[in-house]
Amino acid sequence: MSNHQKLINNLVHLLITQSSLFTDEDKNELQQIIACFPDSLEHFSEDDIKKLANQITDWCESHPEIDDALFALEAATKERAPGSKTGIVPTPNYELNKRTLDNAIQQNSYSDNSQSSNSRL
């Protein structure tokens, strides 16, 4: 898996597992980033992956908390050095396409809305 693929994969993983990092504005901005890709794509091409990863990297510059979380996730998933006591944290390999990203963002929004609805009960 290329570094560009890992970045996108890790962003999807953060959206799913650490949804509290993302505000509604963050989710809207991410939706705008992926909006330029055709809905019909089953899989991103290498060029699409590179373009999307670069856009995510640029976006992360103004979202340091998310950038730090992505960096920590990347560091945790790297192979450990011989003799190191820290293990590798497995991250699922998500299908890299617009639908996967959109679903991760939507799931994030849904779970936030459910939690706020439940807190009113």
The pLDDT tens digits of the residues spanning 80-113 come to 556 665 556 677 888 888 888 899 998 855 544 5
Tokens of 78: 């790297």
* Arithmetic mean of pLDDT, 21-42: 87
What is the tally of structural domains in the chain?
1
Cα–Cα distance for residue pair 71/32, rounded to 1 Å: 23
pTM, 2 dp: 0.78
Contact 22, 108 (CB under 8 A): yes
Name the 3-class secondary structure at 79: coil
Give the structural domain span for 33: 3-119
**Burial tier of 67 (Cβ tally within 10 Å: 0-12, 13-18, 19+):** middle
Q: How confident is the model at residue 114 (pLDDT cuts 50, 70, 90)?
A: very low
What pLDDT is stored for residue 92 in this prediction?
Answer: 81
Higher pLDDT, 66 or 2: 66
Measured CA to CA in angstroms, residue 77 lies from 9, 53, 101, 121 at distances of: 12, 18, 20, 39
- Reference 37, options 26, 48, 29, 53; nearest CA is 48
Contact 10, 56 (CB under 8 A): no
